Chains A and B, each alone.
Chain A
Amino acid sequence: MLVVCGFGAFTLLVCLLAPLVGSTTIHLSRILDPSVPFADNVDAQVFFIARLPRVLAATIVGSGLALAGVVFQALLRNPLASPDTLGVSAGAMLGAMLAITFHAAFSFAGVSVIPLASFAGSVGALGIVYALAGARSQGTPSTVLLLAGIAIAALLAAVGRFIQYFADFTDTFRSVQWLMGTLDVAGYGPVVAAAVPLAIACVGFAQLPRVLDLISMGSESAAARGVNVTRAERIALVSASLSTGSAVALGGPVLFVGIIVPHIVRMIVGPDHRLVLPAAALFGAAFLVLCDLIARTILAPLEIPVGIITAILGGPFFLWLLFRRVI
């Protein structure tokens, strides 16, 4: 538990410092200066409108993807499983592409149609996969789920490419831009909208630690120890998919976080899901906040899509941890 507290302290520190650092210099004294109205205070606007929502978005996306990765890997008993495995990300991407290509142009409570369509796509994909796996047999065996997920992910990705191919050149460009992922959400509306499904997912995750430990050893073994496997799988699937959907809708498909963070955390805290789940949420958040900090400062004033940074940093860091342990 001490390790989890360590992760918590690290994440808190990162989240407090990250909004103060950026491509331009801002001063805390000016941010909090009551003599300058907010409408005229550039430092305060950079802090509260540009950077703080961005840091909050990074924590939601990072923890959402990391939690979903932990659950998918345990549920499917597959170390390569990630939030993308069951087609939830592909559904989210298809939703976003449809909104971009067909020029949907409404917004709701400060959230534009693209994240809303993306979230709807992720829920739709989960529904299809779950229905297919359920129709195939009693309950939702992990192998059937995995195969159905892979098939649906491939199908949805193909539909997305089909739409992109026939889309206007500008729309294709905007789709590619969205696919690279960005955390510059420019306000609190999208953050709050993504936090709601993530909070609901966390209620589900809170019931899972012991169950996931047992399911990791096999469904039969878990059932023999009194676990209602079907119910547990349903909670895990819906929670992980809500979490993935909200993360992808908010930040786009940010690469590597959902597969690498769970492994890094397990290497540090061990396989006990009572520790892995909170540690992954905290480390995922801190990791993405740091990656976004690099993305928005390394080539300032230009920014790099955060997904490029997560892939560049995450891959070698994971390999370093892996080989350090093996050697």
Chain B
Amino acid sequence: MNVLLAVLWKDLVSEWRTGDRIVSMLLFSVLVVIVFHFALPADASQLLQTGAAGLLWIAYVFASVLGLNRAFALELENEALSGLALAPADRGWIFLGKAAANTLLLFLVQAVTALAFALAFDVRLGAVALRFAVLMALGALGLSSVGTLFAAVAVRTRYREVMLPLLLLPVMIPILLGAVRASSALLERGALPSPELRLLVVVDVAFLIVSFVLFEYVLDE
């Protein structure tokens, strides 16, 4: 537990000092929103009302891939990852610390992006903000759990940054589906639909447990 907090603290302090990930993730997400504006037809308001959730989560998924790649690229400097591997700590806690840091950072980016999106496309998020925050958190947690596991793997392969989306995208579809549908329903009806919510919770728990256990094997040489 101590180790979890230590790793979380370390990641957040590093991030605070360098702003490495957060800046690139934020810029990227906002750019995506702008790209959407140009990519969609001139009178896209109808499309947006129904498709807003999907577009937003696309932006989230790609921002998370960006952040996850950076998270482990930083660990490769000075072979810090080996430094973690040397510790007598249970590696599952190291995993949780990193996943927690990734989740928090992603959540921050999600919130800002949602704001940008709402502004740019006049989507009413205000009324459902809190509930949307719950969805963002659940999605961020799911993405960050398998994401952290896969990033630790991907960053030590020959095609580092490209490997992660290849590994992650097919696997995170349940999260995407649940989150997008729940978000759509939320925007339409103002209420969180329970089947989608249940799916998200189940997937999150399953992915967290599996990643926690498997991370042990990822740090070995």
Same complex origin of A and B = no
